[in-house]
Chains A and B, each alone.
Chain A
Amino acid sequence: MTIRRVLILAPMLLILFLLQSYFWVPTYEEQTKGNPERLNEYIAGSIGDASLLNPILTADSASSSIENMVFEGLIDRDEQLHFRGRLATSWEVLEEAFFYINKNASIPGLAKADPQDVANFLRKATKKKNTTAPGLKISLDHITSISVIPARNYSVTRQIKGTDTGEQKKYIKISIAAPARIKLVLNRVDQDLFQNLSLFLGKDYFASFHGENYLSTDPVLKKERSAKYAGELLPATEHNPFLMFNLRPGVKFHDGHLFDAYDVKFTYESIMNPKNLSPRIADYEPVKSVTVIDPLTVKIVYKRLYSPAIGTWSMGILPEHLLNHNALKKEARLLGKDPNTFSMRQSSFNRHPIGCGPFRFQEWKSDQYIILDRFDGYWEGPPNYKKYVFRVIPDRLTQEMEFYAGTIDSYDVQPHQVKRLEKDQRFQSFSGTAFGYTYIGYNIRRKPFDDPRVRRALGMAIDMNKIIKYVLYDQGERITGPFVKQTDYYNHNIKPVPYDPKGALALLEAAGWKRNKEGWLTKDGNKFQFTLITNNGNDLRKAILAIAQDAWKQIGIDVHTDLLEWSVFIQERVNKADFDALILGWQMGIEPDLYQIWHSSQTNPYQLNFVSFKNKEADDLIIKIRQEYDHDRQVEYCHRLHEIIAIEQPYTFLYVGKWTAVLDKRIVMKTVDDAGQIMYEKIKPTKTGNYSFYFNKWIKLPEAPVFMDEG
């Protein structure tokens, strides 16, 4: 019967056809050992794909890892975390400072305060050998030139949104009769300059300058409003720190075009261009101007003291010639789009990037792979690997299988996998302290968390060492404050809060909490009870939630716990500050700028100081750290700030995790010295735990080498 035969034969033939394809597939062996080219390529496995390959438009880690290969910044950080030049050979941090002549104030020892007189008076003071105040002497010593900017009249127009009347806009004309101004040029940045100068120009010289007396508005505004404009247009004093970058000559983009200062200026302008919607705009907002002095020198002036700004110049530099206004217009016309609305976000450059980094872009298949080829014209000499491949494998188990098979060289290895792979002879493993910490935050607005003794006692009741051992499998260590542990900013003198339930009870008793008959802590008849929350989907936090609940119960605190879906957790609880205590983590940058998370001005809803930590001295220190350009002094302030936070305990700092990485043992560092002698070295992570710092020198050998220091 034909129907029957067809019904049986069809699936059999189909399956046979599918199965025979096995004989055509290259085995893993052929792909790895049987393929000598494999040694020249590095294949990185990744869970997710990149979004756009343009450093100014993205902030996700997958895109950044490719951008770092294709693009190059002016500077980056070396093994010791100091800045080192990349596209810039050297740079200087200087300052221009300004203040307005205050006619109403009297200067001690100077009868008539003519601008020229004030300037001369200052000039004389800088030449004086001894001054009474030592701080003033230092400030004066760093002044290299003093000049007078004559008085001038000008007007500006400002637009204000009618706050009550909705969308209605009003224009205000402001006429300014600016008095003469003194300009000081300093050979370093000095945040104490005006404070020190006031010792000598009179205590109220700067404070008694009222800008609103020099401007008139049309229509006439309320006093506060015009004072606000005065503060903006006529500040009594102004710090303008500036950076002078000397650029590396002869550096080429991958298309052969020479890199110069105009590319730096263009990159800055692209970030600031509102059409591009750059997520990095906040980093560059303090920039006042970027000026090209000559093709190899660029000057970047800042509106105010902002020391984290230097680090932002590690941003990859874009090629101006491919993305400037004309180039984009041309592309828009080619694609048949409106040239006026076409922005860099739409450009095909984001999928075929060209930079001046060590690898040039080759091919991108969405959700499959990105291939980069070595750039032979790289200014520091080409990397050893011929190819860098970024392979997207969304599943961790298949990633691990591919890694075992040798078809990927690195992957997002999990702590428990490292434990297993550590003993394997074929692999080398690395591990180090990560950049993020986990904490329990207390809502200080609510009682009894407003008492630092209570917060400390809560921390003392939890045995962190056990959590690290049994929950984290030792893939974490203790941390005592909000700085990156590997940096100088972290104060190692501070001891972690000890595990001491008895001590905790004593502290709570001092704060008025006593145990009642049933063993619960009470104060004025109220039981000590609160809810500890965290987000769903993080097993570590969930485990800590249960451990903390139990530990606190043991000293007589009635704790409820709750797990919330991430967006509900953030939007309903964290942003609205509607919680008692929560478990959360922060990722830290190297810069010690804590303004957004710890300054008292950031405690409103939707801001990041949601625990409402307020401390006057801490506020001052946070501002000072932000404004200080001298590393040693910054360290000093950070140590003090760290100390305050450790005393106040707004968070119970739980732990900082560890990063881990595993590589094939055959991957080594290869260097060729001047005599042409090839040397191989074992890969070692830097102090900060960046094991791929010398990636350009890596290469894979056919056999695993034996190093002398291993014996």
Chain B
Amino acid sequence: MISFIGRSVIQKIITLFFVSIVSFLIIHIAPGKPSQVDPMNPKFTPEVVERFRKEFHLDKPLHVQYLYFYKNLFTGETVSWKDNQSVLKKIWERFLNSLPLFIVGTIITWTLSFPIGIRSAIFRGQFYDRSATFLSYLLISIPGFFFAYVLIIFVVNQFHVPVIGMETFGIGDGASLPHIFMDRIWHLLLPSVLGATGGIAVLSRYVRSQMLEVEGQDYIRTARAKGLPPEQVHYKHALRNALLPFVTMFGLILPGLIGGSVIIESIFSWPGMGRMAYEAILARDYPIILTVNFVSAVLVLAGTFISDLLYLIVDPRIRL
């Protein structure tokens, strides 16, 4: 067990090192320059551009830039080129904004997928199953932004309430605490439902197929033959065994924490991680891009690590 953890940590650190090199290279080799070094603005004389390059260490060879960047990152001194704010502070702020969206979206996805998927499996091939399948594929294939627009237009025109932003604009003045809280919940509703639709569609399919696989096992037949009520067979014998693969998936959703969703966040004016990262890419704000990249790499690796551990705990058959 301990040797497994040790080996795994070392492997992951090595992977992380290579990820940091590759992502650094990709960003620096990709065409385009930071907007501060934009050569098409007549106001930027070569001297100014040169000075910015120096300030940003862009005049140094790539490996020196790499060392500078990661030294600053680990000492917490990295600042965004756009506004000189500390990158870690910025990411933390955005992370807190994206977090509720992520949590509510995940809860919706996971609580809805299971009942839908299980029911589909139980009534396999019947009307309910077919319509659920149809709906899932429909939701997977509709582009998120289109669905978002349709929903926004519908809600705004029908109910005349604001849906964009983290809260109703200007609500802070004089509203009571429950009002502010509920207002925030309302503003979470649409974006998190939209973020969850794809997830529900995919996850409920997984649940269905897992359930079907388990339901075909011998021990289920035995359980049925014993004369157990079908409910007990489905929910106790089958479901427990079908759950195993989802434990792994739960670890893998961790990176979603930092990824955020560019499209949903832009459409809903949500000041989250995804939007910040996207704008940073457009402006070639390397410190932000690289830090987000690094943190998400860490989260991906941590996620796989956690799911390995979870598997170990949940499935007694696995021993390391």
Contacts and interface: CB of A to CB of B under 8 A. Distances in A.
Interface string B218-252: 00000000000001100110010000000000000
A36 interface: no
B26 interface: no
Interface in A382-407: 391-395, 397-398, 401-402, 405, 407
Interface stretch (B39-47, B65-73, B133-141, B299-307): B39-47
Contact of B162 (A17, A28, A365): A28
A596 B156 CA distance: 50
A368 B271 contact: yes
Contacts of B168: 25-26, 31
B309 interface: no
Contact of B31 (A405, A568, A608): A568
A281 B161 CA distance: 48
A511 interface: no
A280 interface: yes
B269 to A, nearest CB: 5
Interface in B168-223: 168-171, 175, 178-179, 182-183, 185-186, 188-189, 193
A302 interface: no
A274 interface: yes
B237 to A, nearest CB: 11
Contacts of B107: 14
Given A1-B232, A25-B183, A567 B189 contact: no
Interface stretch (B4-12, B17-25, B111-119, B311-319): B111-119
A28 B189 CA distance: 18
A401 B153 contact: yes
Contacts of B279: 48
B166 interface: yes
Contacts of B114: 7
Contacts of A23: 182
Interface residues of A, number: 67
Contact of A366 (B39, B45, B93, B269): B93
Given A3-B236, A401-B156, A567 B169 contact: no
Interface string B79-90: 100111000001
B171 A274 contact: no
Contacts of A274: 51
A27 B160 contact: yes
B276 A22 contact: no
A24 interface: yes
A11 B111 contact: yes
A31 B111 CA distance: 35
A282 interface: yes
Contact of A21 (B36, B111, B183): B183
Interface in B121-169: 149, 152-153, 156, 159-162, 164-166, 168-169
B275 A367 contact: yes
Interface string A13-40: 0110111111111111101000000000
A131 interface: no
B44 A282 contact: yes
Contacts of B269: 368, 392-395, 398
A405 B162 contact: yes
Given A21-B182, A393-B269, A51 B115 contact: no
A25 B269 CA distance: 18
A395 B266 contact: yes
B112 A11 contact: yes
B144 to A, nearest CB: 13
Chain B facing A: main interface SS: helix
Interface in A322-368: 345-346, 350, 365-368
B152 A596 contact: no
Contact of B178 (A3, A24, A279, A575): A24
A52 interface: yes
B32 interface: yes
Contact of A367 (B46, B185, B271): B271
Contacts of A26: 161-162, 168, 171, 175, 183
A402 B31 contact: no
Contact of B189 (A18, A43, A281): A18
A571 B33 CA distance: 9
A606 B50 CA distance: 13
B82 to A, nearest CB: 5
A368 B166 contact: yes
A405 B160 CA distance: 8
A172 interface: no
A26 to B, nearest CB: 6
B84 A565 contact: no
A570 B40 contact: yes
Given A14-B108, A369-B169, A405-B156, A24 B182 contact: yes
Given A27-B161, A28-B160, A398-B267, A277 B51 contact: yes
Most chain B CB atoms below 10 A, which of A20, A345, A395, A571: A395
A25 B186 contact: yes
A59 B43 contact: yes
B48 A14 contact: no
A15 B153 CA distance: 21
Contacts of B149: 397
Contacts of A368: 165-166, 269, 271
A3 B239 contact: yes
B281 to A, nearest CB: 12
A625 to B, nearest CB: 15
A405 to B, nearest CB: 7
Contacts of B185: 17-18, 21
A39 B28 CA distance: 49
A51 B32 contact: no
Given A21-B189, A28-B161, A279-B48, 17 more contacts: A1-B232, A7-B235, A11-B112, A15-B108, A28-B156, A28-B162, A31-B170, A277-B51, A279-B36, A279-B44, A394-B269, A395-B266, A397-B149, A402-B162, A571-B39, A606-B39, A608-B42
Give me the 8 closest cross-chain CB pairs, A-B, nearest first: A24-B182, A567-B32, A367-B271, A21-B186, A21-B185, A567-B31, A11-B111, A282-B45
25 contacts: A1-B231, A1-B235, A3-B239, A7-B115, A17-B185, A19-B189, A21-B186, A23-B182, A25-B162, A25-B186, A26-B161, A27-B161, A29-B160, A31-B169, A280-B43, A281-B45, A282-B43, A282-B45, A345-B84, A365-B271, A397-B149, A405-B156, A405-B162, A575-B39, A606-B46
Interface of B: 31-33, 36, 39-48, 51-52, 55, 79, 82-84, 90, 93, 104, 107-108, 111-112, 114-115, 118, 149, 152-153, 156, 159-162, 164-166, 168-171, 175, 178-179, 182-183, 185-186, 188-189, 193, 231-232, 235-236, 239, 266-269, 271, 275-276, 279
